[in-house]
Homo-oligomer: A and B are copies of this chain.
Amino acid sequence: MARKENNFEIRTDLAVEQRESFPGDGGEIAGVALREWRESGSAVKMSEVQILDEHGARAMGKPKGIYLTLEADGMAGNDEEEAEEIAEEFALQLRRLLLREQKKIKRGAQITPKELEGFKEPQEPKGEKVKNKADRTGFAGRRILVVGLGNAFVTPDALGPRTAGNLKVTRHLDGQFGAGFCQEKNLPLLSAIVPGVMAQTGMESAEILKGIVRETKPEMVVVIDALAARSVRRLGTTIQLTDTGIHPGSGVGNHRHGLTRESLGVPVFAVGVPTVVGATSIVHDTISSLEAWEIEEKPGWEEKLEPELRNLYVTPPDIDERIQRISRILCDGIHQALFEPETCL
């Protein structure tokens, strides 16, 4: 195919899609490392894009850091067992991302490409960490704030609010039963907030969260957000985890200000699931899948479209159900990542 794919600037919030858009899918991009794997017998396909330096960041249009992707068609389906398997895999990856950060904090060191490499291979067999070290999660007494970004009243943007709204928070237990209670019971000091969107609050999410972080002093922040993808195949079938936070222009609601270590003063992790695609992506997908057309997509055709089509984002009709199902997977996964298996709250 002779299409010049990199002329496309169809918006995606997924690093793995950005990476795929480069010509010659298996090729090398300086400063960007790609790794893909699947646990044996697992329904979940994993990929990890690492943006290692400024060159990679420029090429990818995304900041340096790790971008993990979990893909499973079953995410959108009805199979409860598959949903549990996805939640477990998500829990494992989230744990690793957070624990890695925690060690770094202790050492006070910067991330180096070397260190990142160390995480290329999962060092423990799947599930072991979660299941065998039941006595110690690594998060006992740690202060973690989960943020559910997005508009609870616009379904495809409601993923964050619905996930954060169903978490088993614990931070207040120290207030009720005495400081140290959570640590002793092997619980994190988990708090959660749904800040709303600017059109509802008149405030930037970043402002609201800065205030709350300053007042309640979490050690790390995990942000849940709905994303825009390029491919309809990814709607509700992909979870992206990153240690880079949220950046301006990303998300369904198109955040104007970032939520990052720089803006909030603590490490910010982001968990995102694509729930909308641009209409132009659909056109692109269609033309790509019709090789018989032998069309060379003209560079910049999107800009010539009427604004109506150019800015049209769409979502599947059963989006209510999908959001419901995925928010439950994320919620379960966060619980598994932070709590001991048998914890009853």
Chain A interfacial positions (CB closer than 8 Å to B): 153-157, 165, 169-172, 175, 189-196, 198-204, 207-208, 210-216, 232-233, 252, 276, 279-280, 282-283, 285-287, 289-290, 292-293, 295, 298, 301, 304-306, 308-309, 312-321
Contact = CB atoms under 8 A, between A and B. Distances in A.
Contacts of A233: 308
A196 to B, nearest CB: 7
Contact of A283 (B199, B200, B286): B286
20 contacts: A154-B317, A154-B321, A155-B320, A157-B317, A169-B202, A172-B202, A191-B202, A192-B201, A192-B202, A193-B208, A194-B194, A208-B211, A210-B215, A211-B215, A212-B212, A252-B317, A283-B287, A286-B309, A292-B298, A292-B304
A191 B199 CA distance: 9
A165 B152 CA distance: 10
Given A252-B317, A286-B309, 9 more contacts: A154-B317, A189-B202, A203-B216, A210-B211, A211-B212, A211-B214, A279-B282, A290-B301, A315-B315
A231 to B, nearest CB: 10
Nearest to A279: B282
B315 A279 contact: no
Contacts of A314: 279, 282, 314-317
A286 B318 CA distance: 24
B319 A155 contact: yes
Contacts of A211: 208, 210-216
Given A172-B203, A193-B203, A289-B305, A315 B316 contact: yes
Contact of A201 (B191, B207, B214, B308): B191
Contacts of A189: 202
Contact of A290 (B172, B203, B304): B304
Contact of A190 (B198, B202, B282, B319): B202
Nearest to A192: B201
